[in-house]
């Protein structure tokens, strides 16, 4: 039987059937297969190697992000700054994937932009997903998506006309960096994006794309 590294897999983002083996690399005690989609340029871990939910939860518990950490706030300002420059006064939003220590929502609230928190593990209020928002933020979240096609459709549906989806994730800038890239070595990171991937997302979902800084993507719906 051919292994996942040697066979074509459907892309989990654009659903193109012909993704190709990209790399087979050590990750912890395992050897993991990665594929590249020729259509949307997503690089993704073969689903057979995805971490189990229990392993994901244990890894997330190691994170020590705090709203009182000035360095963490400065890191999040790389997204919050360009986003707030686009928002009308009083715009209301949702931080999707806020984690156990919501910080970005607090920062936005402090600046007059009411922002609720949602996280499937730590703040799973499903009623928040039935509403529409002027902005939705995803910081260090989209690399964890096991089913990105469904997840991005859900995020798109959360936007009001004129609303903005603001994403922070480390971009895969060159293929040469992938083997030793710290981002790949996180076992819960299963999807890796290039700027071209966000260009595909914008076209597919009818959004306007801005890339105001490295690792920051703002996708805005028509008003």
Q: Which fold has domain 4-221?
A: Rossmann fold (3.40.50)
Q: What pairs with residue 102 in β-bridges?
A: none
Angle (CA) 218 194 176, round 5°: 150
Region 28-48: mean pLDDT is: 96
What average pLDDT does the segment 19-36 reach? Answer: 95
Note the pLDDT tens digit of each residue in 124-141. Answer: 999 999 999 999 999 999
- Is pLDDT above 80 for 216? yes
Q: Mean per-residue pLDDT for 17-36?
A: 94
Rounded distance between C-alpha atoms, residue 164 and residue 158, angstroms: 10
pLDDT the model gives residue 1: 28
In 140-206, beta strands by DSSP E:
159-168, 191-192
pLDDT at 197 over 60: yes
pLDDT of residue 38: 95
**Residue 86 contacts by C-beta under 8 Å, 6 or more apart in sequence?**
164, 218, 220
Given this model, what pLDDT does residue 6 score?
59
Question: What's the order of all strands across the beta sheet hosting 43-45?
Answer: 20-27, 30-36, 43-45, 191-192
Give the pLDDT score at 62. 77
Query: Which runs of E-coded beta strand occur in the chain?
Result: 20-27, 30-36, 43-45, 93-96, 115-118, 133-139, 159-168, 191-192, 207-213, 216-221
Contact criterion met (CB below 8 Å) for 91 and 113: yes
Give residue 201's pLDDT: 98
**Is the confidence at residue 3, as pLDDT, over 70?**
no
Percent of the chain with pLDDT over 70: 97
The string of pLDDT tens digits covering residues 39-85 is 999 999 999 999 998 888 888 877 778 888 999 999 999 999 999 99
What's the predicted TM-score (pTM) here?
Answer: 0.95
**What pLDDT score does 134 carry?**
98
- Rounded to whole angstroms, the Cα distance separating 155 from 100 reads 20
pLDDT at 5 over 60: no
- 5 Cβ partners below 8 Å, 6+ apart? 21, 24, 33, 46
How much of the chain, in percent, has pLDDT values that exceed 90?
87
Average pLDDT in the chain: 94
Six-digit token pair at 198?
């966000």
């Amino acid at each position: 039987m051919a292994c996942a590294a040697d066979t074509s897999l459907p892309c989990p983002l654009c659903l193109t059937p012909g993704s190709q083996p990209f790399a087979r690399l050590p990750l912890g005690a395992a050897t993991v297969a990665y594929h590249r989609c020729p259509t949307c340029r997503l690089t993704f871990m073969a689903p057979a190697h995805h971490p189990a939910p229990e392993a994901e939860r244990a890894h997330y518990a190691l994170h020590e992000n705090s709203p009182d950490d000035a360095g963490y706030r400065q890191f999040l300002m790389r997204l919050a700054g360009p986003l707030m420059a686009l928002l009308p006064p009083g715009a209301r939003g949702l931080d999707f994937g806020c984690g156990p220590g919501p910080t970005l929502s607090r920062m936005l609230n402090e600046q007059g932009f009411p922002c609720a928190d949602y996280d499937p593990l730590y703040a799973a209020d499903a009623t928040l997903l039935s509403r529409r928002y002027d902005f939705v933020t995803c910081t260090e979240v989209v690399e964890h998506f096991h089913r990105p096609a469904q997840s991005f459709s859900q995020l798109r549906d959360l936007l009001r006309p004129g609303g903005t989806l603001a994403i922070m994730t480390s971009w895969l800038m060159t293929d040469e960096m992938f083997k030793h890239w710290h981002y790949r070595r996180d076992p819960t990171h299963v999807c890796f994006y290039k700027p071209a991937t966000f260009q595909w997302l914008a076209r597919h979902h009818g959004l306007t794309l801005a890339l105001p800084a490295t690792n920051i993507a703002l996708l805005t719906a028509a008003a």
